[in-house]
Structure 1
Amino acid sequence: MIPGTLRRATAAAETRRVALIGAAPGSVEASWLAACAGPGLTVIGTGRDGPRTLSLVQDGVDAIVLPAAEPAYRELILTALDRGVAVCCGPAGSTNVPAAAELAAAARRSGVPAVVAFPWRVHTALRDARQAIAAGILGELLTFDCTSHEDPSGVVHQLDLLRWSTGQEWTVDTVWANPGAAVTSLGLRTGPSGPYARILTSRLGRGEPRFQLTAIGTRATLLVVVNPRDGAGLWRLTCGSSTGERVFGATSRNPYPEFLTSGTGPTFDDALAAHRLARAAERP
């Protein structure tokens, strides 16, 4: 299905023109978008600087894709949304809450597909983990632990994963970081008697990349371990003396197919909520 907002009414063959902006050839974003290529989809690459980007939006591309909603692309994103051009971008690397709020408000007003790419949401093992929590297989959720080592995605992605996986809103309770900020640990709660969550990130420049999610409930414990490089890992559910486990190979985290086929995905409001949590963790 091609969403109406990604389709030009004048196009005889429903060909969409998607501009990839700010991503160098060979980047993960370029590879992900190339994997979506096929009849009816034309990708226009502009490189990192993208001098033609604003004119592309003005001239009628159907969608723009950016690695992140960085300040340099603020005008471009706002112009695209105002002109009815669909937008998909990663969250900004900085915790600029006012900027995130401005983009979220513009996305709501536009009425066109406006998606923030959170690739961990796409991974099938983490989708299964979310479903297990929502279905009550774990019982009442007690703790949720998300640990990442040498994962380039960053804490905003882990905070979004916490909200999305549990379906609950959280507040920052404790913050610990070493002097060099290579290791950071956040403690979060939903309320005085609610579950407790920990988000731990380490960027020490050594060892293999590793992502691990552990959710403990009153009935069962769920463990998901993933290599951020290729998405391979294991999924294990333990209930009493019974354990079910599956090992999986390389698994995609490509967020673009959902955006291009249905115009859906995480919203700019989701990104705003994650940025607010990350900003709260920075305050003394």
Structure 2
Amino acid sequence: MTTDVTDTGLGTIRAGILGGGFMARVHRTAARDAGGELRAVATRSASGSRHAADELGAGRAETDVAALLDAADIDVVHICTPNATHADLALRALDAGKHVICEKPLATNAEDAKRLVDLAARRGRVAAVPFVYRYHPMVREARARIAQGDLGVLLTLDCSYLQDWMLLPTDDDWRVRSATGGASRAFADIGSHLCDLIEFVIGERIRSLSARTRRVFDERAGQTVDTEDIVAILVETESGALGTLLISQMAAGRKNALTLELHGSLQSLRFEQERPEELWVGMRQESRVLLRDPATAAPDSARLQRVPAGHAMGYQDAFNGFIADVYAAIGGSRPTGLPTFEDGYRSAVLTEAVLASAATGGRWTEVAA
């Protein structure tokens, strides 16, 4: 059942945010757009919490994580902290009876991610992971067209996610060290988005893969690096389609170039996240660019289009649609395509398969169901 994304059924959703960086600001904006109220923020320190609360416009700054999780006036906890803290914080939030939105990766290993899936089910809580590229309307349009058979039989995939923010040896971030970011960086950080989007759009899973990774610099800003910069993957889907995936955080000039190109026996489709208003449709006789238009879109695409054709929608709009769906689910609705902890677990399984294959020099590896 698909319901209006703004219908929570519970009135105002009261939110708490753990963390105070860029993603916390994105979550804050989306929560307010969905009609939520940001009651509290907590970071690693009381002073950091006060600063974040001022920056985010929260009702109050909690002294620590425990105080926020124990607060009776918070319905949902947004976890926007470094990767290695996600599993423990999500577990504590669920144990406190909160609904949870946890930034990816849900956990730095599949075992912990599965434990969170099971706990959320036992607690009866809404538990979601922001695979927000699902919420671009033209992604939903591509998905609908594939589901109705426009593509024909899926033959091949040519997909990539390219960034350049780690291009220089002076570029550094907590994500480059496994102690804080997990064993994988490039794949867990952005390859996870790419694979989630592929499986969501084509309606089937990656069955097996062969992966190679590369670490260009062993040190960044004078500190040791133990995670990968680049990943190249060959994949085979459940139906036998073959594909290539390139993931890099060192592609000069590419800021957030997530691209899906899918080739079928009748048509091809191409979506580029940096051009989210468009969907390229390729045929043997002709090719055309389909522009976003709620008047002609598939229903699941149209429901996410809050402005008329010609008024550009982008990343924050996609995030807003995701949070609105989470809040609707808290109210008892069942929005189509909501990424849950199950999807976060799937991402962890894929990450482990990629690392396992790369450790053998690229041996084909079956991906667990």
State the TM-score, normalizing by the size of structure 2.
Answer: 0.66
More strand by share: 1
AA paired with 1:235?
L
Give me the whole-angstrom Cα distance separating, in 2, the residues matched to 1:197 and 1:147: 11
| 1:127-181, Cα deviation, whole Å (9 max, x unpaired) | 1111121111000111122211108851111121122112212233211233524
Question: Partner residue of 2:344?
Answer: 271
The alpha carbon displacement at 1:233 in A equals 5.3
Question: Which range moved further: 159-168 or 27-36?
Answer: 27-36
Give me the whole-angstrom Cα distance separating, in 2, the residues matched to 1:38 and 1:92: 24
Question: Partner residue of 2:302?
Answer: none
**The one of 252, 266, 288 aligned to 1:244:** 288
SS at match of 2:26: helix
The alpha carbon displacement at 1:58 in A equals 1.6
Give me the whole-angstrom Cα distance separating, in 2, the residues matched to 1:202 and 1:232: 20
8 Å contact from structure 2 (residues 40, 68) kept in 1: no
- Written as runs of structure 1 = structure 2, the 5 A alignment for 1:148-167 is 148-150=161-163, 153-167=189-203
SS at match of 1:259: helix
The alpha carbon displacement at 1:205 in A equals 5.7
AA paired with 2:203?
G
8 Å contact from structure 2 (residues 105, 347) kept in 1: no
Question: Partner residue of 2:39?
Answer: 44
Question: Partner residue of 1:10?
Answer: none
The alpha carbon displacement at 1:247 in A equals 4.8
**The one of 5, 8, 19 aligned to 1:2:** 8
Give me the whole-angstrom Cα distance separating, in 2, the residues matched to 1:93 and 1:37: 23
SS at match of 1:128: helix
AA paired with 2:234?
G
**The one of 244, 247, 253 aligned to 2:318:** 253
SS at match of 2:32: coil
Give me the whole-angstrom Cα distance separating, in 2, the residues matched to 1:131 and 1:186: 26
AA paired with 2:128?
V
SS at match of 2:318: coil
Give me the whole-angstrom Cα distance separating, in 2, the residues matched to 1:23 and 1:75: 18
| 1:43-82, Cα deviation, whole Å (9 max, x unpaired) | 0342542643322222221111123683424343223223
Give me the whole-angstrom Cα distance separating, in 1, the residues matched to 2:129 and 2:343: 8
**The one of 20, 23, 33 aligned to 1:23:** 20
**The one of 119, 127, 134 aligned to 2:140:** 127
| 1:6-38, Cα deviation, whole Å (9 max, x unpaired) | x4xxxxxx33320011133xx244234324426
1:194/1:270 Cα in 2 relative to 1: closer, same or farther (>3 Å)?
same
Question: Which range moved further: 201-210 or 175-184?
Answer: 175-184
Identity of aligned residues (%): 22
8 Å contact from structure 1 (residues 159, 278) kept in 2: no
AA paired with 1:164?
F
Question: Does residue 346 of structure 2 align to residue 282 of structure 1?
Answer: no
Question: Which range moved further: 199-208 or 173-182?
Answer: 173-182
1:84/1:29 Cα in 2 relative to 1: closer, same or farther (>3 Å)?
same
Runs of 4+ in structure 1 over 6 Å off: none
Question: Partner residue of 2:210?
Answer: 174
SS at match of 1:204: coil
Q: Whose relative contact order is higher, 1 or 2, with alpha carbons under 8 Å and at least 6 apart?
A: 2
Unaligned runs of 5+ in 1: 8-13
1:44/1:87 Cα in 2 relative to 1: closer, same or farther (>3 Å)?
same
| 1:93-149, Cα deviation, whole Å (9 max, x unpaired) | 764111111111111212121111101111112111111211110001111222111
Question: Partner residue of 1:136?
Answer: 149
Give me the whole-angstrom Cα distance separating, in 1, the residues matched to 2:108 and 2:232: 17
Unaligned runs of 5+ in 2: 1-6, 50-62, 166-188, 217-227, 293-311, 360-369
AA paired with 1:214?
E
AA paired with 1:119?
V
Give me the whole-angstrom Cα distance separating, in 2, the residues matched to 1:199 and 1:39: 34
Question: Partner residue of 2:248?
Answer: 202
AA paired with 1:18?
A
Question: Partner residue of 1:11?
Answer: none
Question: Does residue 136 of structure 2 align to residue 63 of structure 1?
Answer: no
SS at match of 2:269: strand
State the TM-score, normalizing by the size of structure 1.
Answer: 0.84
